[in-house]
């Protein structure tokens, strides 16, 4: 069964991977890996200054995209 993150879940109010919960628990300088089959997000990373990034697969590469914590709120 496919797993979806809180950004792309087709199930209203429900998701398998709650990015907000992960981001709030994540320590600076660390990441958590997972696989969202809906939007190809592979990980969330918090840098040493507390900024958040989503690691997304694009082609054969993983790219870090900055994201604000407010944008992680489940739909």
Element (H, E) at 66: strand 61-67
pLDDT tens digits, residue range 6-38?
Answer: 999 988 878 999 999 999 999 999 999 999 999
- pLDDT reported for residue 74: 62
Q: Is pLDDT at 75 greater than 70 in this prediction?
A: no
Query: What pLDDT, in 10s, does the model give residues 40-60?
Result: 999 999 999 999 999 999 889
DSSP 12-60: TT--SB-HHHHHHHPPTTEEEE---TTT-EEEEEE-TTS-EEEEEEETT
The residues spanned by each domain of the chain are 19-72
Q: What is the pTM of this model?
A: 0.88
């Amino acid at each position: 069964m496919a797993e979806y993150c809180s950004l792309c879940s087709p199930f209203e109010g429900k998701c398998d991977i709650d990015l907000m919960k992960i981001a709030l628990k994540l320590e600076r300088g660390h990441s958590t890996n997972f696989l969202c089959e809906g939007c190809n997000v592979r990980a969330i990373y918090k840098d040493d200054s507390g900024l958040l990034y989503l690691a997304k697969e694009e082609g054969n590469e993983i790219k870090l995209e900055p994201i604000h914590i407010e944008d992680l709120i489940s739909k």
